[in-house]
Amino acid sequence: MASVTFDAVSKRYGEVTAVDDLNLAIEDGEFMVLLGPSGCGKTTALRMIAGLEDISDGKLSIGDEVVNDVDPSRRDISMVFQSYALYPHMTVQRNIESPLLVRSYHVDGNDKPARKLTKAERDERVAEAARVLDLEPYLKRKPAALSGGQRQRVALARAFVGRPKVFLMDEPLSNLDAKLRAQTRIELVELHDRVGTTVVYVTHDQVEAMTMATRVAVMSMGKLQQVGTPQEVYARPVNTFVAQFIGTPPMNCFAGRIAADSGRIEVEGGTLPLPAGLVATPAAGSAVTVGVRPEHLTIDASGSLGVEVRAVEWLGHECLISASIGDATIVIREAGMSASEAGQGMRLAVDPANVHLFDPNTTLRIG
């Protein structure tokens, strides 16, 4: 097991800066999710850890070792891809065993030279990986005779069998259907709890990040936006990008202005309270971006904000109500069935603890 540290790491492809001055310390044993939209540089960051991409600038370390110039085969990492890349002509047993046949390992202690494993040692490791990933009944089958989820587990077992210091995973669930994805998320967390290996996991799916990560690193356009536990990035997003990337539906963000008496925020259709615990209130008259999550808007006849309902979507356990505030469309989450209808007026209340304020120019959090 090992930590992974990006120290001012950049990666440029000609004019394109795929990763821009990344500083990120991934702790030993952590399940770190690199999260962001397509093209934000998360795969490039992962490939730099694997040694599949050169580093243009900065220093990348695995444990105490700077690995900028270390060959991928010497980094002691395993990578699981979106396409499982199993050998179709080999049994599950042989697929899992395959990395052990080509690589040498420091089995006799780090001071002794690495060597190839014996047949008995290989069998023992394959048996352990198969047990951990519930693959014992399938060892004699070929991949074609397995379900998508079982194939994914074989790919994980093959990564696990070399007992790497770091597991790298690039969107490993994206080929699975929704039900299997949900199940495999739980299995991955259980696997991580059992083996305790550092995991760096790349996805654009914020649900995967929120459910599996010990910490999430949110990226946009090559830059790290925020790193924190899922609870931290949800509760205190540092800018409007993170606010709107985390959460489904995303946080409502709309224009407001600090009222003349400074006690409230004026928005189209009414006012909202200033956030609780605001350190420095912007001057009266300042333009602000207000953020409120859909679950924090409460339908309340005496609420301070009036909106007109545009649509009501019933999802079974809850309704999503769309309404307009000026040019922005906001979404309100209501448990169960809704009595609201399109075209109707509605009043909303928000607790000050659930109001977020951002600077409309920099997009950064004010409070």
Instruction: Give the interface with ligand ATP as residue ranges (CB under 6 A).
Output: 13, 16, 18, 36, 38-44, 204
Rounded least distance, CB 13 to ligand ATP, Å: 3
Rounded least distance, CB 128 to ligand ATP, Å: 32
Handedness of CA 14, 19, 25, 30 (dihedral sign): negative
Rounded least distance, CB 209 to ligand ATP, Å: 13
Distance CA 256, CA 273 (A): 11
Q: Which is nearer to ligand ATP, 18 or 217 (CB)?
A: 18
Two tokens, residue 335: 């448990």
Question: Rg of the chain's alpha carbons, rounded to an integer?
Answer: 25
H helix intervals, the chain: 42-50, 92-102, 119-132, 148-160, 178-195, 206-212, 230-235, 240-245
Amino acid at 113: P
Q: Which is nearer to ligand ATP, 12 or 74 (CB)?
A: 12
Residue 234 DSSP class: H
| Location of structure tokens 């047990």 | 131
Rounded least distance, CB 16 to ligand ATP, Å: 5
Q: Which is nearer to ligand ATP, 82 or 324 (CB)?
A: 82
Q: Which is nearer to ligand ATP, 200 or 346 (CB)?
A: 200
Instruction: Report the residue closest to ligand ATP, judged by CB.
Output: 43
How many other C-beta atoms lie within 10 A of the C-beta of residue 118?
10
Q: Half-sphere exposure of 235 toward its Cβ, with a 13 Å CA cutoff? A: 7
Rounded least distance, CB 11 to ligand ATP, Å: 8
Q: Which is nearer to ligand ATP, 43 or 95 (CB)?
A: 43
Two tokens, residue 346: 């509605």
Q: Which is nearer to ligand ATP, 46 or 319 (CB)?
A: 46
How many other C-beta atoms lie within 10 A of the C-beta of residue 109?
6
Rounded least distance, CB 60 to ligand ATP, Å: 15
CB 254 within 8 A of CB 326: yes
